[in-house]
Every structure is written in C-alpha cells, then in structure tokens.
Structure 1
Amino acid sequence: MLVIPAIDLIDGKCVRLYQGDFSKTMAVGGDPVDQLHQFVKSGAKMVHIVDLDGARNGAARQYELIRLLCNQSTVPIQVGGGIRTMETVEKLLEAGATRLVLGTSALEDEVFLDAALQKYSSHIVVGIDAKDEMVATRGWETITETHYIDFAKKMEEKGVETIVFTDISRDGTLTGPNLQQLEAIKNAVHVKIVASGGVKDNQDLEDLKAIGIEEAIVGKAIYDGKVTVMGDI
C-alpha cells in the first residue's frame, strides 16, 4: 500500500482542518516547499496537495505555489481543491501535477467531468467526501442527498479508475479511518479506492491494507509524528 502525505494550503500556508471546518484551522509544518522536501526525503513516493482556497470557492487558486511545488518535487504530485473547469485542469497539468482530484465538479457538472475523462482520463481522480454517508461538496460545506455508494457506482460507469474516499467526520480527528465505509465502497465498485481521513497511527495503515485498500492519504498523524512510514508498506 502507498502512504501519501498531505499538504493542505490556505493563503500559501500549510494548515490542517478539523472535520473539514474552516473555522477550526491549525497551521502545521513550515514553508510548503520545505515541507515537500521533508516528505520526499522521508520516503514519500507521491504527495497530495489541496488548495483549500480553491475548494471553498472554486476561484481563488494558488497556481504559482502549486507550480513551484511541482517543479521542486522529484515524486508525482496529486492536486485537489476547486478543480471545476477544463482551463483549471490544463493549467494544473501544465504546472506539473500528475493526478487531479475532482470533487464538487464531479457531482455538479457532468459535462465537465465527461470532457475531463475523455481528454485526460489517466490524470483524473474523483474525490468522494461524505458526512453520514451523504456526499459533501464545496469545501465540505454543502451536504447533498447523494449516497456515497451510489455516486461511486456512477463514477465507475463513467470510466473513473481511482476514487479518494473521505469520511469528513474522521478527518483531522486522529480517531482512525472508517473501515466499515471504506470496505463497503471497495466491495461496491471495481476501481482503486484511496483512503483519506482519520488515520492515527501505523496500525491503521495495516488495517487499511488488510481490507485491500491500495493507497492512503495521511495528514495530521504525520505532522504529529504518529505515522512514521511514507511510501510503500
């Protein structure tokens, strides 16, 4: 299983949220570039970067910082947050991103999703963020009436090959991943499932591996020193 450290960005700074709440933002790490180098030096084989400014409003993108991080990195960069137009997709790929996580746009703009998959299928990942099993959008501030399993099945039908699943209630809490929901989504579709949210220690990673999860995005537990592995386990 691939362990992917996360760098969440607000206004150019590394932060972590608690359960997706923008009012509960905590600065972590140091300069984003320094943090990236530290992750790579520690063995990361991919780094996950989220533009939280973009996730919230879909407009305020931190392009230049993301471009700098991609240029500085010697490993693939996965980017998420506010990717809702083909122009944004193309700018981020041109900046050097390897994988792009579509969240709100995957649910709200089917025409855009289809176009992105048709032109850049190998680079497109869909993020499914859920609260009480219902899909959340717009920086997790809007809870829809779409069940996460139903949405995952629809994404599979469209040809999506990788889904990042986050149980918002676990994100940033260090209470462990939602193994039940992760196993349910893995059994419901035949795509790669990436776990995100709640990982508190190395044992959680072993538990994810045991249910067949191939990748896990880890944030707070790495910054707090509770997860000590990066790369393959």
Structure 2
Amino acid sequence: MILYPTIELQNGHCVSLTRGDLDQPMIWHVDPVEKAKEFVASGAEWLQVTDFDAIVGDDQNAGIVEEIISTSGGNVQVAGGIRTQEQVERWIEKGAGRVVIGTLATQDPELVKSLAMAFPDQVVLAVDVWEDRVMTEGWKTKSGLEPSSFIKAYEGTPFAAIQLTDIASDVSDTEASLGLLTALSSETKTPVIASGMVRNVDDLSRLNYVGNIQGAVVGRALFRKTIDLKDAFAATMPQTEPTAQFI
C-alpha cells in the first residue's frame, strides 16, 4: 500500500480543514516546500498537494505547488479545483505525476474519459461521499449521483486510481467508513486510494485488510503528530505469516 503524505494549502499556508470548511482552517506554521522535502526524506515516494484556494478559482498557491513538484524529490499528485482540460495539461507539463479530478467528472464524463485516455495512469478520479451521494465543488454541493453507479459509469477508464473519501469520517468514527470503502472498492477493478480516514497507525493496519486498496492519503494526522511517518510506512508494508522451521 502506498502512503500519500498530504500538504493542504490555503493562502500560502499549510492548513487542515474539518469537513472542507474553508472559513475555519487550522493553520500549521511550517513552510510547505520544506515540509514536502521532509516527507520525501522520511521515505515518501508520493505526495499529494491539495490547493483549497484553487477550488474557488484562486491560483495564488500555484507557485508553491510548482516548487514542491520541482524540488521535493518525490512524485506529486495535485488536487483541488482542476476543472478544465487546460488545467490538467498544465499540471502534467509542469511535472505533476498525477492530477486528481472530482467535480469535472460529474459535469463532463466524456471529457474526463478522454483525458484519462490521453494521460493513462496520470489521472485520479475523486469520489467524495456524503449521505450516499457524490459531493462536488469542494464538498459544498450534493449531486444526485449515487457513488456506486458513478464509479461503475467509469469502469474501464484508465485512471491511475480512484480516490474515495467518506466525508462523515472526517469528524466521526471510521468503522462505518471502512464498510463503505470495502463495499465501493469491491465494485471496481481500478486501484483505490483511501482518503480522510487515517488518524493513527491502527487505521492503516485495518486498511491493509481491505481488498483493492492501493494507498492511503494522510494529512492532518501527520501535522497533529497522532501518527509518525516512519511508523505509518511500517504499517503499510505487506504482512507476512510466520513460517514453520523444519530440521
């Protein structure tokens, strides 16, 4: 399982949000570029950078994201406000390993499928779920789309992964979210990235037992230090059964 340490940006700062509330961010007083380098130095092969300002059409963090891509030493998955073909192409040209698309996938499925075909293994489909519906516009708008049907409509599209977020898990217990994740991941052949449900090492250990989980996004827990990155990497390693020794 691949761990995706995550840097979330707003107004040039590293932040964390609760249920995507842009008006009440928790600000972390660290340099986002240096934090990205720290994650890579600790063993991260992939990072996710989520730009909350881009969700509302503000590109003030673009320079920071570009610097992380060019200097961190890791592969960067860019998320937040990517809603046009031009934005997808721009970030890939800038060196992003992957781009995450959510709202656009609910608005223009044919365009998203064509982008996934043009950039195989570089487009991630974001499926953010609240009360059994896919949410859009940075979790602000509930669509009429049921997540299972939404995922099935994209079956066969060459996405790098599907990133699943149960928004309820952002503030409540993760057990119900694990059930949702298990059910949805079993309905697709595309690898799944779990998002929004990792608070500690035990959560990562539980994810190891869910089929078709390729990775997990971890953000706020790293900044709050409820999880140590090296311990997190150890928890994502394949578990081996003890082997009997015969003489």
TM-score by length of 1: 0.93
- C-alpha contact 1:176 1:200 (8 A) present in aligned 2: no
Cα deviations across residues 152-181 of structure 1 (Å, max 9, x unaligned)? 11122434341000011222x374361001
Residue type of the alignment partner of 1:216: A
Structure 2 unpaired stretches of 5+: 238-247
Does the CA contact (< 8 Å) of 2:122 and 2:159 recur in 1?
no
Match of 1:2 in 2: 2
The runs of at least 4 aligned residues of structure 1 exceeding 4 Å deviation read: none
In structure 2, how many angstroms separate the alpha carbons of the residues matched to 1:14 and 1:203?
A: 25
1:60 to 44, 58, 61: 58
Cα deviation, residue 114, structure 1: 2.6
CA contact (8 A) 1:174 1:199 kept: no
Match in the other structure for 2:174: 176
Which structure is larger by alpha-carbon Rg, 1 or 2?
Answer: 2
Instruction: Confirm or deny: 8 A CA contact 1:5 1:230 kept in the other structure.
Output: no
Structure 1 residue 75 displacement after superposition = 1.2
Aligned residue pairs total 230
Is the CA contact 2:10–2:51 (under 8 Å) kept in the aligned structure 1?
yes
Q: 2:221 aligned with 1:221, yes or no? A: yes
CA distance in 2, matches of 1:29, 1:41: 20
Q: Which residue of 2 aligns with 1:135?
A: 134
User: Is the CA contact (8 Å cut-off) linking 2:221 and 2:227 kept in structure 1?
Assistant: yes
Q: Does structure 2 retain, via aligned residues, the 8 Å contact 1:193–1:215? A: yes
CA deviation profile, 1:115-137 (whole Å, cap 9, x unmatched): 31221122111000011121000
Residue aligning to 2:110: 111
Match of 1:20 in 2: 20
Q: What's the C-alpha RMSD, in Å, of the aligned pairs?
A: 1.6
**Residues 43-192 of structure 1 aligned to structure 2 (within 5 Å):** 43-55=43-55, 57=56, 59-61=57-59, 62-171=61-170, 173=171, 175-176=173-174, 178-192=177-191
Unaligned runs of 5+ in 1: none
Identity score, percent: 31
Contact 1:2 1:230 in 2 (8 A): no
After TM superposition, the score normalised by the length of structure 2 is: 0.88
